[in-house]
Chains A and B, each alone.
Chain A
Amino acid sequence: SYVLTQPPSVSTAPGETATLTCAGNNLRYESVHWYQQKPGRAPLLVISYDSGRPSGIPERFSGSSSGNTATLTISSVEAGDEADYYCQVWNQSTDHWVFGGGTKVTVL
């Protein structure tokens, strides 16, 4: 089965930049999507197709992908950005939709 690997946690001070990574075999051939999930809430799509930003998502959220790693960058981090963040792909080899294990972002 296809695996996406994310660091369990990232801590950032308010106003600084949080960098979240998502690693997977041959990830360059997949489109990566990112979701934000706050406690007790449904996930929210924040980045689509590696670097697209859905309507209503602040410009502080940006995405990129290179080689076997995709990156979600949150600039000028705010207290309200504290959440779990998940990367996700559709894996063409298995016809399965796959989520990473998630990264908990803590704002110090």
Chain B
Amino acid sequence: EVQLVESGGGLVQPGGSLRLSCAASGFTFSNSYWMSWVRQAPGKGLEWVANMKQDASEKYYVDSVKGRFTITTDNAKNLVYLQMNSLRAEDTAVYYCARGSPPPGGLFDYWGQGALVTVSS
């Protein structure tokens, strides 16, 4: 059974940093899957944040986080990370880790339960 479990959320001041982790199990990390982060601001819709190919040869980010967020994986430990720097109030959201299929197509077939990130002074 595929499982994704996020951790690392919390309250951070504007301009601060936070690293989210996602522990994946039930499947083998490979280039057949792309690991992703999707967020949802309170009361709002879903927003894709970042994706990466397992071998790290391709990474993509939504424009609003480029240069501030970095997605990485530890393939030996089946972990996915989202390093978030220079955080802003508008980054406040539940962050979901998701397993995806490569483009073209690019769906998200399994999701974690989400980690809440609150950016506030």
Contact = CB atoms under 8 A, between A and B. Distances in A.
Nearest to B50: A97
A101 B36 contact: no
B100 to A, nearest CB: 8
B111 A54 contact: no
Contacts of B104: 30-31, 90, 92
A61 interface: no
Contacts of B100: 97
Contacts of B46: 35, 37, 43, 86, 88, 99, 102
Instruction: Determine the interface band of chain B, counting residues with CB < 8 A from chain A.
Output: 20 to 34
Question: 6 tightest CB-CB pairs across the interface, nearest first?
Answer: A90-B106, A97-B48, A42-B111, A33-B107, A99-B46, A102-B45
Contacts of B96: 42-43
Contact of B106 (A44, A97, A102): A97
A100 B112 CA distance: 20
B109 A42 contact: no
A34 B107 CA distance: 9
A36 to B, nearest CB: 11
